[in-house]
Amino acid sequence: MAQTDANRGPASGGLARNDPESLLRRLEWTVIRRLDGLLQGDYRTLFRGFGLDLADLREYQAHDDVRYIDWNVTARLQTPHVREFQEDREVAAWFLLDLSGSVDFGSQHVRKRAVSAQLVTVLARLLTRWGNRVGAILYCNGADTVIPARGSRRHVLYLLDSMLKPSEPGQGRETDLSALIERGQQVIKRRSVVFVVSDFISRPGWERGLGMLARRHEVIAVRLYDPVEVELPDLGFVALQDAETGEQIFLDTHDKAFRRRFVAAAARREAALRGALADAGVDCLELATDDDLAEALLRFIGLRKQRSRLAAGFAAQRLRAG
């Protein structure tokens, strides 16, 4: 659901459609330059197992990283074995981009689509600067556009320009993320890093496809949201319109009981979404319209590093117990 007046922000919040070059230049000077300093050029810390192909298996030695123990082979042979990887110096990253009507919502001056465009631009430029390729599949009203994976600054500009094209009316159709994920399975043949960028306001049923995609690729979900979608402020009587179906309703947000019910319903949706992503084996970067993009990315990197350390500790305990 989207408030009818919420999308009438200034051009800066809507990311002017006709100037992707200015946006990219601004992000290069602000976010990308800042991340370069904080990551010290190691953009690969954004990913786990990025650009690695399995090369061989061998017996475990005392100096080996326990995270690379292959437990299936260890169980069969009754001797600990580790996986050896060969780094693939040219990798591909894909963006599965939900550009449906609900992504055009923003309660202040920034819409979810603008946040999506900034994130994709930053990640795509970080990757292409180091000789990697990026591609995208754009979903809008059930139709999709495939942008093949290539590596150059000009290609990033083309991808950004495609994202900023105005969407056609939704014609009463709900978003179906299953179609976007299925298209990704068809198009992305080689093991890649796949970013699914969406607000995940969709028909149910996409969870199974996401889990299947994660079996073949490293999948990272980027969940876009606006603070108003989590906690409704006291705005008096407001008219809300569904950005995809066109349905309109009037609400009295001054009613405290209604706002409490809204928060409770939003919390249930949050829990269900996080559970679905966890079941699919997918990490999630949550990105609000009022977030600082660099800070959000650094938070995400920190969480992944923490999980990796916890997994390593658990594996070490398991090895000692065995």
Q: Rounded to an integer, what distance in angstroms lies between the CA atom of residue 99 and that of residue 200?
A: 11
Read off φ and ψ for residue 174, nearest 5 degrees: -80, 155
Q: Which residues make beta-bridge pairs with 220?
A: 195, 283
Q: In the chain, what percentage of residues exceed pLDDT 70?
A: 71
* The predicted structure's pLDDT at residue 10: 33
> Residue 12 pLDDT more than 50?
no
Query: Of the given ranges (8-12, 150-154, 247-251, 278-282), which has the lowest mean pLDDT?
Result: 8-12
> Residue 13 pLDDT more than 90?
no
* Mean pLDDT within 197-223: 93
> Residue 41 pLDDT more than 70?
no
DSSP for 44-105?
GGGSSSTTEEEEEEEE--TTS-GGGB-HHHHHHHTS-EEEEEEE-SS-EEEEEEE-SGGGG-
Of 73-82, 228-237, 258-267, where does the model show the most confidence?
Answer: 258-267
Q: In the chain, what percentage of residues exceed pLDDT 90?
A: 37
> Residue 288 pLDDT more than 80?
yes
Q: Rounded to an integer, what distance in angstroms lies between the CA atom of residue 7 and that of residue 103?
A: 11
Name the residue with tokens 């690379």: 68
Position 272 confidence tier, pLDDT thresholds 50, 70, 90: very high
Condensed to tens digits (0 to 9), the pLDDT of residues 87-131 reads 555 678 999 999 988 898 887 788 999 999 999 999 999 889 878
Q: Which helix (H) or strand (E) holds 294?
A: helix 293-321
* The predicted structure's pLDDT at residue 11: 33
Q: Rounded to an integer, what distance in angstroms lies between the CA atom of residue 109 and that of residue 4?
A: 14
Q: Rounded to an integer, what distance in angstroms lies between the CA atom of residue 174 and that of residue 168?
A: 14
> Residue 219 pLDDT more than 80?
yes
* Mean pLDDT within 13-17: 51
CB-based contact 314:58 (threshold 8 Å): no
Q: Rounded to an integer, what distance in angstroms lies between the CA atom of residue 30 and that of residue 166?
A: 26
Cβ partners under 8 Å of residue 246, min gap 6: 169, 170, 172
* The predicted structure's pLDDT at residue 223: 96
Q: Rounded to an integer, what distance in angstroms lies between the CA atom of residue 93 and that of residue 222?
A: 14
* The predicted structure's pLDDT at residue 281: 87
Is beta strand 237-241 parallel, antiparallel or unpaired with respect to 248-252?
A: antiparallel
> Residue 25 pLDDT more than 60?
yes
Write down the mean pLDDT value for the chain. Answer: 79
Report, in angstroms and rounded to the nearest whole number, the Rg of the chain calculated over CA atoms.
Answer: 21
Query: Of the given ranges (89-93, 106-110, 221-225, 293-297), which has the lowest mean pLDDT?
Result: 89-93
Q: Rounded to an integer, what distance in angstroms lies between the CA atom of residue 110 and that of residue 226?
A: 9
Position 9 confidence tier, pLDDT thresholds 50, 70, 90: very low
Q: Rounded to an integer, what distance in angstroms lies between the CA atom of residue 153 and that of residue 151?
A: 7
* Mean pLDDT within 34-58: 62
Query: Of the given ranges (160-169, 252-261, 311-320), which has the lowest mean pLDDT?
Result: 311-320
* The predicted structure's pLDDT at residue 65: 64
> Dihedral of CA 16/150/136/273: which sign?
negative
Of how many residues is the chain composed? 322
* Mean pLDDT within 212-227: 92
Q: Among 265, 225, 233, 267, which Cα is nearest to 252's? A: 233
> Residue 235 pLDDT more than 50?
yes
Q: Rounded to an integer, what distance in angstroms lies between the CA atom of residue 260 and that of residue 210?
A: 32
SS3 186: helix
Domains of the chain plus CATH, in order, are: 2-15+91-314 (3.40.50.410), 52-87 (no CATH)
> Residue 315 pLDDT more than 60?
no
